Amino acid sequence: MSVILSGNEIKKQILVELKDEVDHLIEKNIKPSLSVILAGGDPASEIYVSSKIRTCQEIGIQSVARKLPQSVSQQELLEVVGELNRDPSVHGILCQVPLPEQCQEEEVLEAIDPLKDVDCFHPFNVGLLATGNPRFMPCTPYGILQILKRSGILTKGKNVVVLGRSNIVGRPLSILISQKGWDATVTLCHSKTENIEEVCSRADILIAAIGISKFIKREHVKKDAVIIDVGMNRIIDPTHPKGKRLTGDVDFEAVKDKVSAITPVPGGVGPMTIAMLMLNTINAARISNDLPLFQL
């Protein structure tokens, strides 16, 4: 029987540790704070932002959602970023994507002060990460590393196959997990990879982040492999009360008794992302007070 790696449970542990650290900072008169910019009314974005704000409240981080209309101009958006950059009481800033179509995401993300960039999307922070000297951690990749670490799954010398080369998950994760300390041998696969089934079937740890529902079947996985499923695919399902449901990139039912451990969807990687955002916000507050980074 394989182990189900519960992101929900690990998130709870981590939030206890982070709340403790927030309490320590508050004792020193440092009140960590996060500002979330939400431009437009995308329903999924509204849910994500509410969830981030709620988690901040749970552990004592001050948080503000700055809601801007769907019609916001690039210039207005950049002015809000500039204002938050200059406000010393704001430690972390994130701008929820996607932006309205008249706005240029790249320019907005680069406008955020790298010392407040809690999503770790600014090129300067990505560069620090890539050169092995990270300040903030990319939230989903580092959440995955915490699942592995806290489940006693060693990565050193292991064959890790990462499926998907996005700038949010696959790319930064493939960099991080092959660095000193994690020391995995990483193969990064993507839409142009040939014989992807064969490559996957050699993985000791398989991390799927390609956004294709149930792409990974039983024949893709090695016996006793560890499977991390980053997929969040909404598929139509008339038998479900809401008419649709969330699935991963892995065919969970088909592989679960072949592998040694697997993350479920939902309740696996998803919850970890917000926990790591909290870590980064705490570290933004520490950086602005010349304190060393808090490590998990």
Catalytic annotation, pick one of 11, 96, 158, 204: 96
Cα distance between residue 89 and residue 99, in whole Å: 25
CA distances from 28 to 18, 25, 285, 291 (A): 15, 5, 12, 11
Site for its own copies in 238-277 (CB under 8 A): none
Task: Find the binder of its own copies among 59, 175, 208, 284 (CB under 8 A).
Answer: 175
CA distances from 281 to 29, 136, 163 (A): 16, 9, 29
H/E run at residue 143: helix 139-150
Taking the alpha carbons at both ends of the chain, their separation in whole angstroms is 29
Nearest distance from C-beta of residue 123 to its own copies, angstroms: 3
Q: Is 119 a catalytic residue?
A: yes
Q: Is 96 a catalytic residue?
A: yes
Residues in the chain: 296
When asked if residue 183 is in the footprint of its own copies (CB under 8 A), the reply is yes
When asked if residue 190 is in the footprint of its own copies (CB under 8 A), the reply is yes
Site for its own copies in 5-64 (CB under 8 A): none
Token code pair at residue 17: 């540790």
Stretch that binds its own copies, among 77-85, 89-97, 177-185, 261-269 (CB under 8 A): 177-185
Contact by Cβ (8 Å): 270, 14: no
Stretch that binds its own copies, among 3-11, 77-85, 188-196, 253-261 (CB under 8 A): 188-196
Site for its own copies in 77-136 (CB under 8 A): 106, 122-133
Residue 56 or 199: which CB sits closer to its own copies?
Answer: 199
Nearest distance from C-beta of residue 247 to its own copies, angstroms: 25
Stretch that binds its own copies, among 180-188, 241-249, 260-268, 280-288 (CB under 8 A): 180-188
When asked if residue 186 is in the footprint of its own copies (CB under 8 A), the reply is yes
Token code pair at residue 171: 């790319």
- Strands 205-208, 226-229: pairing is parallel
CA-angle at 251, arms to 250 and 253, nearest 5°: 135
Task: Find the binder of its own copies among 11, 116, 171, 214 (CB under 8 A).
Answer: 171
Nearest distance from C-beta of residue 290 to its own copies, angstroms: 17
Q: Is 74 a catalytic residue?
A: no
Cα distance between residue 257 and residue 189, in whole Å: 24
Residue 125 or 281: which CB sits closer to its own copies?
Answer: 125
Cα distance between residue 230 and residue 216, in whole Å: 12
Cα distance between residue 87 and residue 106, in whole Å: 22
Task: Find the binder of its own copies among 2, 62, 178, 260 (CB under 8 A).
Answer: 178
- 32-61 as b/e, with b when 16 or more CB fall inside 10 Å? bbbbbbbbbebeebeebbeebbebbeebbb
Binding site for its own copies (CB under 8 A): 106, 122-133, 156-159, 165, 167, 171-172, 174-175, 178-179, 183, 185-190, 192-194, 199
Q: Which residues are catalytic?
A: 52, 96, 119
